[in-house]
Amino acid sequence: MSRAYNFSAGPAVLPLEVLQDAQKDLVDYKGCGMSVMEMSHRGKDYDAIHQEAIATFKELCGLGDDWAVCFIQGGASMQFAMIPMNFLPKGGAADYAKQGTWSGKALKEGQKVAALRGATVNVACDCAKDIPTRMPKADEWKWAAGSAYYHLCSNETIAGAEIKDFPKVGGPLICDMSSDILSCERDYNQFDMFYAGAQKNLGPSGMAVVAIRKELAAKGDDKIPTMLQYRTYVDENSLFNTPPTWGIYIFGETMKWVKKMGKENLFKLNAEKAKKIYDVIDGSDFWTGTALPEFRSNMNVTWRIHGNNEELEKKFIDEAKKLGMSSLKGHRSVGGIRASIYNAFPMEGVDALVSFMKDFEKANG
């Protein structure tokens, strides 16, 4: 088997070991006579998978008993709806950072719910359209006092920009970490809720992993439909209805892989992988990084060929694909080149990319 170097922004590369174990056990999970996909979610075999996945994730993030970890279907996009539905009171206010496409989408859903409820949304910053792409500087955050919650996105996947220092806000801080969760050292206890669409650093697509302080979940609106209330997931340990069992299983295996690798080793490797690519970008005028250097993401490296040369970019992406490096095309909304190098992306793939970049520049520079 020849394994592709898969630079997809998500769904994305998973650890090969996790895939191989899942393959071995797919038809008959550890001798229990059925696939994980076939197991009752109320049975003993599945229950062990469910509990271990939650426990490993909580350990990796350093979360205590005041936190619940929930599996909620619909990805981060459903969270954009659930957050205001739960926490934005009639006539109240919420704060949103607008740092790029994804935080912009979260803001839009907040505004929709605000319109239905006669509530207010404050835009705490707006650098979503800036080129080079970036995150707000320390003095640019304009958080309003007394808001019901404060929402931001730690890493903008399309822009390739990442928050390095989180701002202090005046109330519950909620963070979309879809594309950089568990990728670097971070104090998760500075948040009141954080979540991630699973399909980047956590597992296959089909759910968001949502960590929420139990105290916050209990404050949510209890008049909205049951499946949209956080308390439903907290109170029933994500077993109110049938959870996405296969996704939770692969998530749990991926968390065990992170633990086995050692978080610190993994974080160091992530920084090294990104630096190798940024060094090539910075080493020649042929390439231009898309993000301001101080906000560069270690998960999504974005860049252009000098003068935004779309023709040459297409050639680069096509030639890379022929060499087994797939999904290097930037997001359709912005173009350019993007290498998503999540936790499971191997160093050899980065080396192959870096080597190809040098060859390509020689041939086309």
Q: Which parts of 254-313 interact with a copy of itself (CB under 8 A)?
A: none
Tokens found for residue 361: 């520049």
In angstroms, give the least distance from the CB of 237 to a copy of itself: 15
Site for a copy of itself in 189-228 (CB under 8 A): 197, 199, 203-207, 223-228
332 binds a copy of itself (CB under 8 A): yes
DSSP element (H, E) containing 260 = helix 245-261
Interatomic CA distance for residues 328 and 220, integer angstroms: 41
Which member of 92, 282, 326, 354 binds a copy of itself (CB under 8 A)? 326
Q: Dump the DSSP string for 9-49.
A: SSS----HHHHHHHHHHSSSGGGSSS-GGGS-TTSHHHHHH
Cis peptide leading into residue 132 (ω within 30°): yes
Give min distance, CB of 203 to a copy of itself, in A.
8
Cα distance between residue 291 and residue 333, in whole Å: 16
Name which of 35 and 120 has its Cβ closer to a copy of itself. 35
The set of catalytic residues is 102, 176, 200
Site for a copy of itself in 94-153 (CB under 8 A): 108-109, 112-113, 115-116
Nearer to a copy of itself, 147 or 327 (CB): 327
User: For residue 95, what are the CA distances in angstroms to 46, 173, 231, 311?
Assistant: 39, 10, 22, 41
Closest to a copy of itself by CB, 166 vs 240, is 240
Binding mask 26-65 for a copy of itself (x = CB under 8 A): xxx---xxxx-xxxxxxx----------------------
CB of 279 to a copy of itself, least distance (A): 27
Answer yes or no whether residue 156 interacts with a copy of itself by CB under 8 A: no
Shortest Cβ distance from residue 288 to a copy of itself (Å)? 24
> How far apart are the C-alpha atoms of 363 and 305, rounded to whole Å?
13
Identify each DSSP E strand in 104-154 by its residue range.
Answer: 120-126, 150-153
3-state secondary structure of 125: strand
Q: Give 322 or 362: the residue with its C-beta nearer to a copy of itself.
A: 322
Dist. CA 254–CA 260, nearest whole Å:
10
The single residue among 47, 74, 239, 334 that binds a copy of itself, judged by CB under 8 A, is 74
In the complex with a copy of itself, which residue's Cβ is closer, 8 or 63? 8
